[in-house]
Amino acid sequence: MTETNIGAPIKRVEDKRFLTGRGRYTDDLNQPNQLYACILRSPHAHANLKKVDVSQAKAAPGVIDIFTGSDMAADEVGSLPCGWQIHSKDGSPMHEPGHPPMAVTKVRHVGDQVAIVIAETKSQARDALDIIEVDYEVLPAAINMDEALSGKALVHDDVPNNMCFDWEIGDKEATENSFSDAHKVVSIELVNNRLIPNAMEPRAAVAQYDPSNGNYTLHTTTQNPHVIRLLMGAFVLQIPEHKLRIISHDVGGGFGSKIFHYAEEAILTWASAKVSQPIKWTAERSESFVTDAHGRDHETKAELALDKDGKFLGLRVSTKANIGAYLSTFGSSVPTYLYGTLLAGVYKTPAIYCEVKTVFTNTVPVDAYRGAGRPECTYLLERLVNKAAKETGIDPVEIRRINMIQPDQFPYQTPVALQYDVGDYPRAFETALKASDYEGFSSRRKSSEDNGKKRGIGISTYIEACGIAPSAVAGALGARAGLYESAQVRVHPTGSVTLYTGTHNHGQGHETTFAQIVSDTLGVSIDQVEVSHGDTGEVQFGMGTYGSRSLAVGGPAVLKACNKIIEKSKKIAAHILEASVDDIDFKDGVYSISGTDRELAFGEVSLAAYVPHNYPIEELEPGLDENAFYDPLNFSFPAGCHICEVEIDPETGEVEITDFTAVDDIGRVINPMIVEGQVQGGLAQGIGQALMEGCVYDNEGQLLTGSYMDYTMPRADNLPNLNVSTESVLGASNPLEVKGVGEVGSIGAPPAVINAILDALSSLGVEDISMPASPSKVWQAIHNAQ
């Protein structure tokens, strides 16, 4: 069975249904008597809703009913909650203005919900949207952050200067002192470009209410069904858990954007009771652009103090983070505890101070997107370190070597709250330098120059905190929920196993990885293991999948439940074998009495548990079904080094990535094939951010990059062959010794790409370029420098 055990590169079992069109996506589901919903959305970024007249539209063919924000308000529907409370420097809690699922008095971004039409067919619902008459009183909009902070236009009347909170971390005084002792201060200003997530499957929901028992069922495209049940049930609709079932079977990509509790989920669930028929809503792609929470969008100024040998003395960071029109579920935690706490990176910087102002604007809410805070942090640090190298004349490799935390320094306490448990940053770094043939770069550069091209190489190192999170730590930092994970291992009478996990699989391959853990631990063949997830009616509880937490937090829960199974089944085996439980060995699915050839198979013991004719019934209950909850000891800290090599055509500004090397320390690897895929996908997204993707609003708050004509996603032909490998130090925060891999690619890649571009163009005098480094931007930078 070793070919499927932990560490084996087996193909994903779930791919069979994905590749043969048998996935169960939300939009695939149709219920008897199902109606269809379309949502009227604001075309204005900021306007008072003076009148919403639905009378004519209600009479349109096929229309069953139409509801507005006022109808929901009349039912005392609550506000969409934020899951993380942040406090400002002065100790005051963040501003949490109301977020009604449908606008009641004001619309606050293009795409904000105004009315829902429910009709017999989707076309009828869509046609009726056109005859709803809305009288908007257009208000000045706050779009860019400086403008918003001036307070001229207020997104929420009760939030002065549109500032949600003004947060800080680190020792300000120690940092100031480090700057006064500095030999050299290097400063940088940069923007982390706003991104629009683009999961292949748009969001969708099917809501159903059963008037005979008062039960609600919502099928929705979420990464965390139990969290949605908690947030929507307890805070928005006041439906108790036992009357509300959330089902999220197959989901076609999330990347963070499907973590959050979205308005449509609450609107549909609420409306399904109004019409007492199931309702389906599926976002059109253009709706996704203006309603799925966006990512990134930071403006940062930072300074690094160095001594005469190039050692970092202090880091000072001031960031403005756009959080859009409303606080999304995790919007407040991303630019704070997932950002400022990582500013040490892999370096021994002794003093760090960071302040973050978060700003409401009349744009789509901004929240976690693959990496969430850590790409923003890494981009800043690695751009700054490269600039320091340039300004001090120290080689970019050398300056990193000088400052890197050494393997004998663990556990390493950073000046920004986190304590790194284990790691070996120089090892991944040196491995990446070798793997990318860093030494041989100058000859490659020469051959590019001979062809009239500019060649550059860029390094990025990173650390990230994932496996969120130790509940007590998260709670102390403002999280309003625990962040443990649960697993239930149900051994059936004949020895096959169903694993119920509280994490959610939407492309990560849990059905394979988790089955490998079960198979390895219980010694059952992998085809005897089924993984169930995504249904609050089946899975006991869970916090879902985000922050690369599934394996680091959900995995140990699986292991723990398996160990409980082993513990109980050994007692059963001991009884049947008439031996002491201490003498029972369990290995590869076989129970034996130590030192004898007397043994029982896994299936024999499980059968005895369900057919307890010969069973220690006084001591043990029948059955073999165990639950476990696991709360991690610490975050886990994947780290690594990414090296990008580019060739640029100075005539066109086109950047070709010729080579990309990623060496990642992600702890124990359960399935190397899945790991490689995860890193590749993350790198593609990181490269997309660096070269192609960028969300643009005009001054009135109209989204100009609202379709694939204007918002560029990376395609296969934009990417080189990715040289991906792991150089792991086993994780110390959990018994599986794993760290997490889902986000490392999108965290490490952007600065590696931009550093490579700047290296290529430095001989032309180009000193800065912003993401996305599109051909026109690169061409312009070249011409501006000349």
Partner 1 sequence: MEMSGEYRIEASRQTVWDALNDPEILKQSIPGCEEIERLSDTELAAKVVAKVGPVKAKFAGQVTLSDLDPPNSYRISGEGKGGAAGFAKGGANVSLKSDGEATILSYEVDATVGGKLAQLGARLIDGTAKKMAGDFFKNFAEVVTESKDLNSTENLNDADTNKVNHDINASKRPKIGVGSWIIGLIVAAAVILAIIVY
If 0-12 CB within 10 Å is exposed, 13-18 middle and 19+ buried, where does residue 369 land?
A: buried
Does residue number 54 form part of the binding site for partner 1 (CB under 8 A)? Answer: no
Report the residue number, 126 or 444, with the smaller CB distance to partner 1: 126
Of 139 and 315, which has the nearer Cβ to partner 1? Answer: 139
* CB 198 to partner 1: min, Å: 14
- Count Cβ atoms within 10 A of the Cβ of residue 146 and give its class: 0-12 exposed, 13-18 middle, 19 or more buried: exposed
DSSP state of 28: G
What backbone torsions phi and psi does residue 678 show, to the nearest 5 degrees?
A: -65, -45
Q: Are 249 and 534 in contact (CB under 8 A)?
A: yes
Backbone angles phi, psi at 727, to 5 degrees: -140, 80
Closest CA to 164 of 339, 331, 405, 384: 331
Window contacting partner 1 (CB under 8 A); options: 19-27, 42-50, 331-339, 586-594? 42-50
Q: Which of 159, 204, 624, 703 binds partner 1 (CB under 8 A)?
A: 703
The correct pick among 307, 527, 651, 710 for binding partner 1 (CB under 8 A) is 710
* DSSP-assigned states of every residue in 161-189: GGEEEEEEEE-HHHHHHHHHT-SEEEEEE
Site membership for partner 1, residue 361 (CB under 8 A) = no
Q: Looking at 702, 762, 770, 780, which residue binds partner 1 (CB under 8 A)?
A: 702
Residue spans of alpha helices (H) in 172-282:
172-180, 225-230, 263-275
Q: Choose between 325 and 574: whose C-beta lies nearer to partner 1.
A: 325
Nearer of residues 60 and 435 to partner 1, judged by Cβ:
60
Binding of partner 1 by 44 (CB under 8 A)? yes
Task: Work out how close the CB of 159 gets to partner 1 at its nearest, in angstroms, rounded to a whole number.
Answer: 24
Q: Tell me the three-class secondary structure of 369-388, residue by residue.
A: CCCCCHHHHHHHHHHHHHHH
By CB under 8 A, residue 354 contacts partner 1: no
Q: Is 441 helix (H, G, I), strand (E, B) or coil?
A: helix
- Cα separation of 375 and 48, whole Å? 36
Q: In this complex, which beta carbon is closest to partner 1, that of residue 44 or of residue 316? A: 44
State how far the Cα of 366 lies from the Cα of 196, in Å rounded to an integer: 9
Q: How far is the CB of 702 from partner 1 (least distance, A)?
A: 4
Q: Which stretch binds partner 1 (CB under 8 A): 75-83, 94-102, 286-294, 719-727?
A: 286-294
Dist. CA 653–CA 676, nearest whole Å: 31
Q: Which is nearer to partner 1, 337 or 711 (CB)?
A: 711
- Per CB under 8 A, contacts with partner 1 among 108-127 are 110, 126
**Alpha helices, H only, 662-741:** 672-691
Check binding of 129 to partner 1 (CB under 8 A).
yes
Distance CA 572, CA 617 (A): 10
In angstroms, the CA 102 to CA 266 distance is 10
Find the binder of partner 1 among 502, 706, 740, 745 (CB under 8 A): 706
Instruction: Return the residue of 42, 257, 319, 414 that touches partner 1, per CB under 8 A.
Output: 42
Total site size for partner 1, rule CB under 8 A? 25
Tell the smallest beta-carbon distance from residue 130 to partner 1 (Å): 3
Q: Does 48 bind partner 1 (CB under 8 A)?
A: no
Buried b (16+ CB within 10 A) or exposed e, 24-50: ebbbebeeeeebbbbbbbbbbbbbebe
Contact 552, 730 (CB under 8 A): no
To the nearest whole angstrom, how small is the minimum distance from the Cβ of residue 289 to partner 1?
A: 7
Binder among 709, 716, 784, 786 for partner 1 (CB under 8 A): 709
Options 31, 70, 286, 496; binder of partner 1; rule CB under 8 A: 286
Which of 23, 43, 81, 482 touches partner 1 (CB under 8 A)? 43
**Is the CB of 700 or the CB of 768 nearer to partner 1?**
700
For the packed helices 396-403 and 374-392, what is the interaxial angle rounded to 10 degrees? 110
Q: Tell me the C-alpha distance between 226 and 344, whole Å.
A: 34
Q: Are 290 and 39 in contact (CB under 8 A)?
A: no
Packed helices 555-577 and 602-610: angle between N→C axes, nearest 10 degrees? 80
- Interacting residue with partner 1 among 611, 704, 713, 730 (CB under 8 A): 704
CA 312 vs CA 351, 395, 430, 595: distances in Å: 9, 15, 20, 60
Residues 457-486 that bind partner 1 (CB under 8 A): none
Q: Which is nearer to partner 1, 130 or 588 (CB)?
A: 130
Among 60, 66, 94, 132, binds partner 1 (CB under 8 A): 132
698 in contact with partner 1 (CB under 8 A)? yes
Please report whether residue 534 would count as binding partner 1 according to CB under 8 A. Answer: no
- Give me the phi and psi of 461, to 5 degrees please: -110, 160
Distance CA 201, CA 26 (A): 9
Say whether residue 41 binds partner 1 (CB under 8 A): yes
Q: Does 707 bind partner 1 (CB under 8 A)?
A: yes
* Residue 258 and residue 223 in contact, taking contact as beta carbons nearer than 8 Å: yes
Q: Closer CB to partner 1, residue 38 or residue 344?
A: 38
Tell me the window of 40-48, 187-195, 533-541, 740-748 that interacts with partner 1 (CB under 8 A).
Answer: 40-48
Report the 10 Å Cβ neighbour count for 65.
Answer: 18
Spatial contact of 734 and 709, defined as CB atoms under 8 Å apart: no
- Minimum Å gap between C-beta 129 and partner 1 is 4
The stretch near partner 1 (CB under 8 A) out of 150-158, 173-181, 666-674, 695-703 is 695-703
Q: Which is nearer to partner 1, 289 or 586 (CB)?
A: 289
Among 700, 735, 764, 768, binds partner 1 (CB under 8 A): 700
Q: Is 40 in the site for partner 1 (CB under 8 A)?
A: yes
Question: What's the number of CA atoms in the CB half-sphere (13 Å) around residue 325?
Answer: 28
Rank residues 288 and 634 by Cβ distance to partner 1 and give the closer one.
288
Site string for partner 1, 69-108 (x = CB under 8 A): ----------------------------------------
Is residue 59 near partner 1 by the rule CB under 8 A? Answer: no
Least distance from partner 1 to the Cβ atom of residue 262, Å: 19
290 is a site residue for partner 1 (CB under 8 A): yes
CB of 53 to partner 1, least distance (A): 12
- Pick the closest to residue 750 from 707, 711, 714 (CA basis): 714
| Site residues, partner 1 (CB under 8 A) | 38, 40-45, 110, 126, 129-132, 286, 289-290, 698, 700, 702-704, 706-707, 709-710
